[in-house]
Structure 1
């Protein structure tokens, strides 16, 4: 959202398109989450009706309402988009060069099931008109002046109660909504609007006044009427109204479905609903007239919609507050930009922090047209910037200057406004941060390069992009990143994802003008394919956990076997034959026993006792006690054969190995010696660990860090950096029951590292591990942007 200026009122009116766009941003930001925000409250109300046994509503009626509410929840994303489009359409209609006449709007019939819904919307609009009449009267006068500056005829207030009711009704035009749910929907919509409309109207009045579209003084009622007549005359609006009969349940199908086309008839019934408190009948092209807000009846107007003259002083109301996070982000951005400007020898052509002397600021529509012109151009310059050969924001400005020159605008004579500078820099920093925080290949770089200008246009016209997690362009950004990050195209499924993401990015470039529907449509298409990818990632995680578990069990068995073997090799001295058998076949037999039977004491004791029996046989041989040795070996023969069989030897090979063992024990004076323990075998993950774990161990972990990491469960996310400084989001996918080590996987389910809690704590102490991770690629990239700007702001402060 654009932050309103605090420099006071403008003596010369600001570009009316920019003022109207700022008000549009205010409205969309305050109301963007509707209607889904009050679904939980409606659910609670329906549950209370069921629990209370309300005699007015049978269980069947409540069940139907609950079922319909469930359907609305499933369609929530589409409803939010349609609601936003309905509000935006009001602003688009307002700035038409000629107000739409009723004869230009095709008429149709409303489905009977929707009539009550439309009537409820009319009643809601009348109620809100009555409640906010003073603010609406003042805003109507100012919007008439703004319409004159646009060269348009006075039209319906784009943020008036009638327009807001229309947008709400149109949102649900395709839904079958029972009476109980309809009542609750309008009840909670009215509550939601009641909490924000007063402040919103004050903020819109303040924006109009600051832009130079305020009234010269606080007028009394006759003065207001005279001013309204003058505005109407200057705009070419008709004079006194003539009574026109209501048209019943007819509808204007182009955005006016189900609202009466009565053009200001006093006393019109619901079907011929006229705008109260100066609001026009929806779909009708009325005439300037008067109305009484207190009575809720009035004469429909085609423009200012003046009420009974009770207008307040101009410029009333507070500045529209912006989200604290966006305010802070913009402040840091300004500090960062100032720091970069201090380092530069001279300003770039076509750039400004707003209001460069001798240069004209580009209007928003001009800048959007320039971006649209360059949108279809090859994006090589952006790809090179993302590869690190320059700043992306600078490349964006260069391209916009090139486009300005093509349209006949001299880049030396124009500049960007402060708001436009913010949008350009934020998009540039966002894409730069994306490539620092994600594993993206060259193909992905070209794909994102194509998307730079479409996202610049979104940021210029709708800064909800940086505020709302459900913004369509933001969701598509996350979906594309999910599809391509770490995707090398090694499998047919991965190549299909890359191809689909590429085609979607090309479609956005080709089709995006200023309608966000293309982002919503593209996201739905890509997300359907990503659902399969997410299931494959889950399976990949499961396979990684099973493989790691198997490796851990094998390493554990080897360690246990080597410990037992080392004790037998260290004393007493052994003949080479016995030592070789113990280090080979018997050790393998121990490992297999541990793997098959775990800690089954009986099996393990039997396997270990075989080694002790062989050591005893070697002692008998050393002492020359041949008869006892023969009896001892005959008793051991079945167990030795079993041991050899576990190594995969067949009967013949086992007999041969047994013969060699006996041959080595025949001679009492065979030299005997002590043998070292078996050497440590190289682990499969040694290379992996050397990438992430510092062998020098210079950092020391705090006990609190160890305990914090130990408390994390499987499924927790971490942000880790390797020894080269490359960052990665990793999830704890599995905790070893043997070693208590943690298996970390990336967003594609591939193994990254297996480490103990203590090793992870050392990484945290070294600043290479943070608990938690932004859930989406957009939020993760924005977190990098905030950190970069925060550091810059801190250095400027110092």
Structure 2
């Protein structure tokens, strides 16, 4: 069901009072609506304020009069109708609650009758399809973030509806329902398609980004109302005998057909009939299944067709090559829709190929005869190490040796790890090895990355999704900590105020994690609150710098228009050379300032143009004596652009008379020297000193054209030394008029400007590169490097990515 499918039954009740619901049901629904209304009110108000500001900004920077007119009209209409949006949205949400007990079949028949009455097939407008896609994306993303709450709410609303559990498409007050309500309510604003899409994007970022906690509060409120009180989600645990049967079945399987299922939480072997990572992706993730990413040793080393050819990935090549615009450690949803089961199976095949190659290189090395530890024993032993006081930093191989030594000491005989658990150690060790090459060892957060090793190892032993799901909470926390220590951060990019929240998040995981992924979610939630506050500060600072840069652009545009107007009036008229120089410098500044402040349609601008004509006439054909009225006007105008009274009087006297260049050469030379030393209005001395460069090559021209259509906010990495170290900068804004591009750092601080021409040449010379989505997240990039290493072991260097994030 589409998120934009309305209720087509015209007779359906629109209010809870008219729905004829039982008193207790109506009371529970009224409380639910009041809670959602109160929670969303502030977010919706902030969204509307930001939407108004964004329309103003878009109108201000529009590149053609048509676009500017459209945005100005949208802004005017929005200001008239903005007060209608929130009430209409709440009415739509109430209507969705009022039809809770309407039978789905009846609604479907109403839709068919309505469709059949037209007796025609029509094409859906592209704009409607785009809006539908945007809203569907918003809803699905929020459903993925609140899986457990959605599951429990489906059960509770099913009780209120007197029906089985309600799915996400029909769940009242669910993400799809809210998106439907917004689309209907947005019609009250009477704005165009482009403006509506902007509104939906802001709604996603400023409202729905906070909706997962609202769903959790709603679930708690219904629990207090007595709707299935005490309802929770507890996964099925597989008995030990079943585990043993599953292990025996896997051992007897034919080569290439061995079971590749994740294990149930707390088990050491595969659970018979248990679903793979993908199968469980849509279910609640509270205390859900754990499994192992380990590899079955009897695989042939060839992944199945779907995984081997990249069918399991959720992102297209275009998605991967789009510019990366997210701030440091911001969560990304670009690669959440992957086939985890296919990725998991392909990962198994790669590990099998690695073992096969190592076996060929070490033919005399026999497998360990020591009995393997169960995953439960390994998990508990690692928990003991995790709870121990911090010692000197150790890598994962040291931890493995320490674990086996403790087991030998405790049992009195040798011990080993199962193949699956050993693979988990190896994979995480490879990931950490790649991360070590991406982070700065002297960064404040680098020690926190090492402290996370044990909790992450325990997660990976129990949950195979850690390796194949980009949105896994443990992987997100790892990425956040790693990115705050990344090598591409400059010394001023890291905010010292972020270090205490990072330390608290890591300490919370170390102290509390004992198998429940919710601990990572709690740490992520607390840390993201601090990160979002930092992002808001950075964006606010960035906006100030952008507004200043736009002001400079307006000055440059005014300067160009004023210069053209003056050149048109001068034409081929014969006036003294020095008088022409004064016109092109001193008086041109006057015209520029007037045009900038008053605009082309103002009386002041027309007055200055008239004065210019009189000046040109006086210089070319006037009397030797200056026109007193015109000289007074010119002197006053020059004083407004910063000329001292004495200089202004001399220049005004020159511009309002026809004195030749030979008259009083000493005073003329002195005035010329003063003008040469003077900085003109809006003059960029650094830009004026730039040397003329040769024409761009075809490759440089292609890069230049690419940069001119690059979205604002794109990150670009600049090479800083001969060793290849880079620093990442954000392209906040560029001017199509001046060709200047503004760059800020991760904290929104201005770090410099480059021309797009120079930037294109730097990219071609490998001194800069555009950061794409595939290189955006540090952990995903490190994981891809680890996978390339695995593929080289398996002799499959051209195989596709295996991550769940779709990176090649």
Compute the TM-score of the two structures, normalised by the length of structure 1: 0.49
TM-score (norm 2): 0.49
Largest Rg, 1 or 2: 1
Higher relative contact order (CA 8 A, sep 6+): 2
